[in-house]
A and B are shown apart, each in its own frame.
Chain A
Amino acid sequence: MIEIVDIVKSYNGTTVVDHISLTIPPRTISVIVGTSGSGKTTLMRMINRLVEPTSGTIRIDGEDIRDVPAYELRRRIGYAIQGHGLFPHWTVAQNIATVPKLLGWEKSKIEARVDELLGLFQLDPAQFRHRMPHELSGGQQQRIGVARALAAGPNILLMDEPFGALDPVIRAKAQEDLLAIQRQLGTTIVLVTHDMEEAIHLGNRIAVMDKGKLLQYAEPAEIIVSPATPFVADLIGTSDRPFRLLSLTHVGDHIEPGTANGSPIEAHATLRDAYSDLLWSGRSAAPVTRDGQTIGIITLAACAHLAARPQ
């Protein structure tokens, strides 16, 4: 658990983070969203003391982060940034081994950990271990950047626009990978982005910031349904609201008995995808499958009903 209590950061009289308090529950993904200059990156960088707050306190699992030297704190917290920041003169294996080496792990343990992480990110260790960063594609570099951040098995992972430099197709894949890995490892993730779509897709909770102030900190559904300020509503975009709401729910939770024709929809797809599919194929219902078995149907009416603002 990360507790941020009444944090202020000002540079030469300009306040960039203004009295912010929020609590990030363990094993969740919290996304900080805001336009550039909103102070979102500064807020995140105060968690691993890359920026020292002007006033206020940050506690991790009840312990004030100022109780340990900054470099020791940082070795316990994963850190991944936009454009990955891989060390260009080190191999993939050396990059991933950065923090374990700083912590003084044994060589054999480091090697095993490197291979394990490469496997976790679907990169063949034998093939990638000795490559240099410039020999990798953008997507591979990004994965190595996250693997390096997770190398020492941190409880907390800070990510600053981690997918910003990727093209849309690779970004979507990287987001799915991150969700899968977070479910598997139970890491607490704090992610900074300017993209509300990404925030809604990834976040268990979303913190919306503007001009150094925290406007709203809530679950995605609540942010969509009842935005705290006009700025939050603008960030979501009024025309996208029903679809964003649908994107939070899975088809499997809203199946009805019956039969329908045409290509089936997977139960783990979002209602947004199902709605889009139904509209496009001109059907009023489609069969739903889970693990290849047809388990019912999803109807256009149900989607439309669920897209409406909850009363």
Chain B
Amino acid sequence: MRAGSGPPFFRPGTAPANRSWNHSLSLAASADIEKRHWQRLDKLGVLVTVIGLTGLALPFALFRANRIVPGEGIGILGSLDSVWSILLIAAIVLTLATALVRFNAIAKMAAGFLALAILALAVGAAANHLTPSDNNYARVAPGAGFWLLLLAFSLMVTDALTRLRLRPIWRVALLAIVLGAIGLILWSGLWSNLSLLKEYASRAPAFWQEARTHLILAFGSVAIATLAGIPLGILCYRVKLLRAAVLNTLNIVQTIPSIALFGLLIAPLAWVAANVPGASNIGISGIGIAPALIALFAYSLLPIVSNTVVGLLGVNGQVVDAARGMGMTDRQRLLNIELPLALPVILTGIRIVLVQNIGLVTIAALIGGGGFGVFVFQGIGQTAMDLVLLGAVPTVGLAFAAAVILDAIVEQISIKGRGA
């Protein structure tokens, strides 16, 4: 059929379908229609649905007689009043069906957020429903099913947000709304019967103390690294010989495993504290905040220095030449032209280390540095998963919020200096 019979640019498949269109639906044509049906399917939506349905099948809540014994999984039907549980299942199935089909991203985002809100309320209600009155030892935690549903709907929302390409300011506003909603639920006491918040309730002062330490370590180390890294980056940009040496050294530091680096610093700092007059008075010792801060600083230096160098090297050569030719001094050129144009890249470096350090600080608890890691390691020691989560959940939330906010700032600045 193909050989010699068709016109020179004959494409097998399409032409026969068109030719026989008038008579009946040929095989190829009906396949076409089927294909179009398939195209209405959202590929990521399929994944979301698979995860969501698995979540429905797994236990929604976990009931434990006390905080350290293994739990007993309970499905949605057992976790809530029958009416509410059926409504919840209906809402979940409906949202998953929305995820499956391609349509308006705004509607998808709204459906996803709505499902997340319902999930948040339901898990609190389940805890209230399952917790026996007059029993302070029993614990109700979200089960694997809840976490999978959370993952599924978060994926759906993230995908819709990516497609919407919201402006930076709106992304930050959305983050504020989500955080506000979580704050409102916490304040209302709806989640108070969840095991995580029971752990919190029994150690609230310690929680806020460690939160403060966590923030000081993460932001402090990044601040110091920024103050030291940007000038070092400028120096490496100006002095070519220095560039390779400095960047290679920092590269090696970056490859030291974090636990090892924290440990390695104990001996030298203990020596400094013992032998340098006044060192111990300003808080330097083998364990505690000082080694944690130094290790985090060391990790932060490479991304900031290298992004400063890359950002400065990326400034258009003609622009730099024009600035010189106009009679700007080296300092004026650096401050007025080169640094502002390199700023988006430098800020990206700062964003990387801030998110990285918010996570890394948890390990600092091992050497007495404090932070949310304290709960993580205590929880591992006591095999109390709720306590581990009390350390991990705020850490993840903090890193996520920092990433969203700094991404928005970087994008806002890049828009301003477009065409560089």
List residues of A whose CB falls within 8 A of some B CB.
48, 50, 71-76, 79, 81-89, 98-99, 102, 132-134, 145, 148, 158
Known A-B contacts A102-B332, A134-B418; the reply to A85 vs B322 at CB < 8 A is yes
Q: Are A89 and B341 in contact (CB under 8 A)?
A: yes
Give the 3 A-B residue pairs with the shortest CB-CB distance, closest first.
Answer: A85-B322, A134-B419, A79-B325
Given A84-B322, A86-B322, A88-B418, 19 other A-B contacts at CB below 8 A?
A71-B328, A72-B327, A73-B327, A74-B326, A74-B327, A81-B325, A85-B323, A85-B325, A87-B322, A87-B323, A87-B336, A89-B417, A98-B328, A99-B326, A99-B327, A102-B328, A132-B419, A148-B326, A158-B325
**Nearest-CB distance from A39 to chain B (Å)?**
17
Per-residue 0/1 for B322-360: is the Cβ within 8 Å of any A Cβ (1 yes, 0 no)? 111111110010001100110000000000000000000
Known A-B contacts A75-B327, A79-B325; the reply to A85 vs B341 at CB < 8 A is no
**Nearest-CB distance from A174 to chain B (Å)?**
18
- Residues on the A chain within 8 Å of B322, using CB: 79, 81, 84-87, 145
Nearest A residue to B340, CB-CB: A89
- Residue from the set A82, A102, A145, A148 with the largest chain B CB neighbour count within 10 Å: A102
In the bound complex, CA of A76 to CA of B326 (Å)? 9
Nearest B residue to A158, CB-CB: B325
In the bound complex, CA of A158 to CA of B327 (Å)? 13
- Residue from the set A83, A85, A102 with the largest chain B CB neighbour count within 10 Å: A85
Nearest A residue to B333, CB-CB: A71
B319 at the interface (CB under 8 A from A): yes
B162 at the interface (CB under 8 A from A): no
- Residue from the set B322, B323, B337, B416 with the largest chain A CB neighbour count within 10 Å: B322
**Nearest-CB distance from B85 to chain A (Å)?**
57
Chain B interface, >50% SS class? helix
Known A-B contacts A50-B324, A102-B327; the reply to A87 vs B419 at CB < 8 A is no
Per-residue 0/1 for B403-416: is the Cβ within 8 Å of any A Cβ (1 yes, 0 no)? 00000000000001
- Residue from the set B316, B319, B326, B420 with the largest chain A CB neighbour count within 10 Å: B326
- Residues on the A chain within 8 Å of B326, using CB: 74-75, 79, 98-99, 102, 148
- Residues on the A chain within 8 Å of B418, using CB: 88, 132, 134
- Residues on the B chain within 8 Å of A74, using CB: 324-327
Nearest B residue to A45, CB-CB: B325
**Nearest-CB distance from B414 to chain A (Å)?**
10
**Nearest-CB distance from A248 to chain B (Å)?**
31
- Residues on the A chain within 8 Å of B188, using CB: none
- Which listed residue, A71, A88, A132, touches B327 by the CB 8 Å rule? A71
In the bound complex, CA of A22 to CA of B364 (Å)? 70
- Residues on the B chain within 8 Å of A48, using CB: 325
Known A-B contacts A79-B326, A102-B328, A102-B332; the reply to A85 vs B419 at CB < 8 A is no
- Residue from the set A50, A72, A87 with the largest chain B CB neighbour count within 10 Å: A87
- Residues on the A chain within 8 Å of B340, using CB: 89
Known A-B contacts A85-B318, A87-B319; the reply to A133 vs B419 at CB < 8 A is yes
In the bound complex, CA of A98 to CA of B328 (Å)? 9
- Residues on the B chain within 8 Å of A50, using CB: 321, 324-325
- Which listed residue, B319, B327, B329, B332, touches A85 by the CB 8 Å rule? B319
**Nearest-CB distance from A40 to chain B (Å)?**
16
In the bound complex, CA of A9 to CA of B371 (Å)? 62
- Residues on the B chain within 8 Å of A132, using CB: 418-419
**Nearest-CB distance from B114 to chain A (Å)?**
40
Nearest A residue to B341, CB-CB: A89
- Residues on the B chain within 8 Å of A133, using CB: 419
In the bound complex, CA of A71 to CA of B324 (Å)? 8
In the bound complex, CA of A87 to CA of B323 (Å)? 8
Per-residue 0/1 for B76-117: is the Cβ within 8 Å of any A Cβ (1 yes, 0 no)? 000000000000000000000000000000000000000000
In the bound complex, CA of A73 to CA of B325 (Å)? 10
In the bound complex, CA of A71 to CA of B332 (Å)? 11
**Nearest-CB distance from B325 to chain A (Å)?**
3
- Residues on the B chain within 8 Å of A87, using CB: 319, 322-323, 336-337
- Which listed residue, B318, B328, B416, B417, touches A81 by the CB 8 Å rule? B318
Nearest A residue to B315, CB-CB: A88
Contacts A/B (CB < 8 Å), 24 sampled:
A50-B321, A71-B328, A73-B327, A75-B327, A76-B327, A79-B322, A81-B322, A82-B318, A83-B318, A84-B322, A85-B318, A85-B321, A85-B322, A86-B322, A87-B323, A87-B337, A88-B417, A88-B420, A89-B417, A89-B420, A99-B327, A134-B418, A145-B322, A148-B326
- Residues on the B chain within 8 Å of A85, using CB: 316, 318-319, 321-323, 325
A-contacting residues, B111-161, CB 8 Å:
none
- Residues on the A chain within 8 Å of B417, using CB: 88-89
**Nearest-CB distance from A182 to chain B (Å)?**
19
In the bound complex, CA of A97 to CA of B417 (Å)? 18
Q: Are A88 and B328 in contact (CB under 8 A)?
A: no
**Nearest-CB distance from B371 to chain A (Å)?**
38
- Residue from the set B324, B327, B416, B420 with the largest chain A CB neighbour count within 10 Å: B327
In the bound complex, CA of A198 to CA of B318 (Å)? 22
In the bound complex, CA of A146 to CA of B322 (Å)? 11
**Nearest-CB distance from A114 to chain B (Å)?**
15
A-contacting residues, B307-324, CB 8 Å:
316, 318-319, 321-324
- Residues on the A chain within 8 Å of B325, using CB: 48, 50, 74, 79, 81, 85, 158
In the bound complex, CA of A75 to CA of B328 (Å)? 8
Nearest B residue to A94, CB-CB: B336
In the bound complex, CA of A132 to CA of B417 (Å)? 9
**Nearest-CB distance from A103 to chain B (Å)?**
9
Q: Are B321 and A81 in contact (CB under 8 A)?
A: yes
**Nearest-CB distance from B284 to chain A (Å)?**
42
Nearest A residue to B317, CB-CB: A85
Nearest B residue to A79, CB-CB: B325
**Nearest-CB distance from A201 to chain B (Å)?**
25
Q: Are B321 and A71 in contact (CB under 8 A)?
A: no
In the bound complex, CA of A54 to CA of B321 (Å)? 21
In the bound complex, CA of A271 to CA of B240 (Å)? 56
- Residue from the set A74, A82, A145 with the largest chain B CB neighbour count within 10 Å: A74
- Residues on the A chain within 8 Å of B327, using CB: 71-76, 99, 102
Per-residue 0/1 for B14-30: is the Cβ within 8 Å of any A Cβ (1 yes, 0 no)? 00000000000000000
**Nearest-CB distance from A206 to chain B (Å)?**
23
In the bound complex, CA of A294 to CA of B95 (Å)? 84
